[in-house]
Amino acid sequence: MKNNKIFFIFLIFIIGCASNSSYTVIDTSKNIKIENLESKYNRVIGTGTLSGNGKANFSSPFIFESQNQSSYIVFKDFLGRRKYMVDIDKENITYIDLRSNQQVDLDEFQNFFPISDQLNAKFYKNILWGDPRILKKININLKNSYSISTKLKSFESGNFLDEIIFSLNNSKQVYSIKFNRRNFKR
């Protein structure tokens, strides 16, 4: 019986050390472009999750919609209640506390998502549509070190942003924006 336990532990160890073959090379020339999507579709709607790990541990599901020059993202709390809305109109961003139904300043919203002051309207719109090119143009100015990594999801029409990970202070604080679903509407 003892030998079976040792063998089982050894087997789990070997399986855990096996290489992960789920990584694939993505042809970045097939990345979608927001201009092409907007020529075919009027709007995109979907869901996702904003997560924080490190000093602030949380998970906030969100819903979003983007069309023409306006977009919005509604973040929810752990009970599913609407918490904050990011309303984007052309180049203007408004933050609204949905519980009190009042506009809040950027400093208050930063308590929820600390790097939000570094993200502009174009960034939000492009990530909602799934266009990864905006990440080449992002310029985050933080006092601490940071890195950005992404995951793309391939479909017949091209590669879409699936997840964006912001790692701050040598990964002591990590924020992740994960897109669970996108639906394009005509």
Tens of each residue's pLDDT in the chain, 186 residues: 544 444 333 333 334 444 444 544 555 678 889 999 999 999 999 999 999 998 778 999 999 999 999 999 999 998 899 999 999 999 999 999 999 999 999 999 988 888 888 889 999 999 999 999 888 877 666 555 567 778 888 876 788 999 999 887 777 888 999 999 999 999
Q: What is the pTM of this model?
A: 0.79
DSSP state at residue 29? G
pLDDT of residue 103: 97
Q: How many CB atoms lie within 10 A of CB 69?
A: 12
Give the span between the Cα atoms of 61 and 78, in whole angstroms.
8
Q: How many CB atoms lie within 10 A of CB 186?
A: 6
Give the span between the Cα atoms of 124 and 64, in whole angstroms.
10
Q: How many CB atoms lie within 10 A of CB 131?
A: 22
Fold adopted by 25-180: outer membrane lipoprotein receptor (LolB), chain A (2.50.20)
Per-domain boundaries in the chain: 25-180
H runs (alpha helix) in 41-160: 106-112, 121-129, 134-137
Residue with tokens 């694939």: 24
Contact at 8 Å (CB) between 109 and 116? Answer: yes
